[in-house]
Amino acid sequence: MILLIFTLGPLFLTNLVSADFGYDGDDGPSHWGDSHKACLGKQQSPIDIEAKDVTMASYPPLEFSNLQNPHKANLTNNGHTVMIKSVDTELPTISGGPINDTYTFQQLHFHWGQNDRIGSEDLINNHSFSMELHAVFWKKSYETADEAMKHSDGLTVLGYLYQTTDDSNPIFDSIVSRISEIETAGSTITIDDSSVLNKLVAPDIVSAQNYYTYKGSLTTPPCLEIVQWIDFIDPLPISHDQLAAFRNIQSSDGKNVTHNFRPVQPLNGRVIYRNNINEITETPKPTSGSMTTTTLVTTAPTTAAITAPTTAAVTAPTTAPTTAAVTAPTTTVGGKLTKMSTLTITSTRAPTIESINHMDNNGSQHSGQERIWIASPFAVIFGIIFLLPYQ
């Protein structure tokens, strides 16, 4: 028996799921901790991301490698989800962003709900999306996926949110057309589309930098807390009919997998960061206490072509007023283009464009002088007219 456990253990880890769980009844998420103690941990996933509570941070650009090359990939029903896995030796990798090393692609899979209103695992502002795709990467320096699973920074998972629409998403054509062939648990086929990984994993350059990130866990047993999560904010489309096809796969007991998402878990004081796509800096250090600090770097980015129009150093605590130095290159006063000096602003929140403009229009030192110079020519003209009859 011991030999069997050591033989099958790595197999379970490679697929990132254990066979003895489900999403209903005695096998449901509320009972996962009975057999898998890690599922009761303090850094569990998924979570509800409240946008008002996140901390802004600036990361290097996320970089994808070897995704555009053709990849032979298998489509599998593992009894819990639809999974896509490359069978090539030259696997895609990801680096940059909040991760400090290169991570190698392992597999991607999907989570959905009983209907199109729910299905994603992570929520944003308590809103559930229709589906969520997870692309799993393991840390390359650990040499194997099994070894990476033993370390707290072993995995990075990219989360893509999908919302149903009336129009089909052509990216899913090669998947949905073959799902009927893997309805039975344990079925595997080869996908005809060799570019499917590139289409699913590599979003456009703007969306690829617009994300939330936090430390968490696998969302299925064994629930290991070894994941740096990167959740892309912009939802992607999938049609109602395309999503419905996923609910036709069967679990090991022959029942349709109509839903396979874990409920959100307590945050337990974890900090959620949102990448500031306008600035590039080093990986930030978490703040302590109730202070939330946002720092926009004043140097020009060196690794991305995205720049901010103005330079501002803003520190915004939640409990005390802050002082911010804001420099605007030009402003318009009395119809003339005038240079604006540096303003020191004390406020309980970061200054807005409207507040800067308001202070410029009401506090410019040159406005009185300009009115005098504008009035002077008219005084001369009236004086000449007044003196003409006496000559």
Q: Are 92 and 197 in contact (CB under 8 A)?
A: yes
pLDDT for position 16: 55
Per-residue pLDDT tens for 32-64? 999 999 999 999 999 999 999 999 999 999 999
In a shared domain, residues 336 and 231: no
| Residues 263 and 367 grouped into a single domain | no
**Is 82 part of any domain?**
yes
User: Does residue 300 fall inside a structural domain?
Assistant: no
Q: How confident is the model at residue 277 (pLDDT cuts 50, 70, 90)?
A: confident
Residues 63 and 144 in one domain: yes
* Host domain of residue 70: 2-275
| 303 occurs within a structural domain | no
Query: Are 129 and 68 in the same domain?
Result: yes
CB atoms within 10 A of CB 58: 20
Please check whether residue 281 lies inside any domain of the structure.
no
CATH number for the domain that contains residue 204:
3.10.200.10
The model's confidence at residue 19, banded by pLDDT at 50, 70 and 90, is: low
In this structure, are 99 and 230 located in the same domain?
A: yes
Question: Of 155, 156, 110, nearest to 134 (Cα)?
Answer: 110
> Which residues carry out catalysis?
80
Cα within 13 Å of Cα(113), Cβ side: 19
Provide the pLDDT confidence category of residue 238 given band limits of 50, 70 and 90: very high
pTM (predicted TM-score): 0.69
Confidence (pLDDT) at 135: 98
Residues 206 and 343 in one domain: no
| β-pair type (273-275, 55-57) | parallel
Q: Which SS3 state, helix, strand or coil, does residue 389 take?
A: helix
Same domain assignment for residues 327 and 253: no
271 inside domain: yes
Residue 369 pLDDT greater than 60, yes or no: no
Q: What is the mean pLDDT of the chain?
A: 77
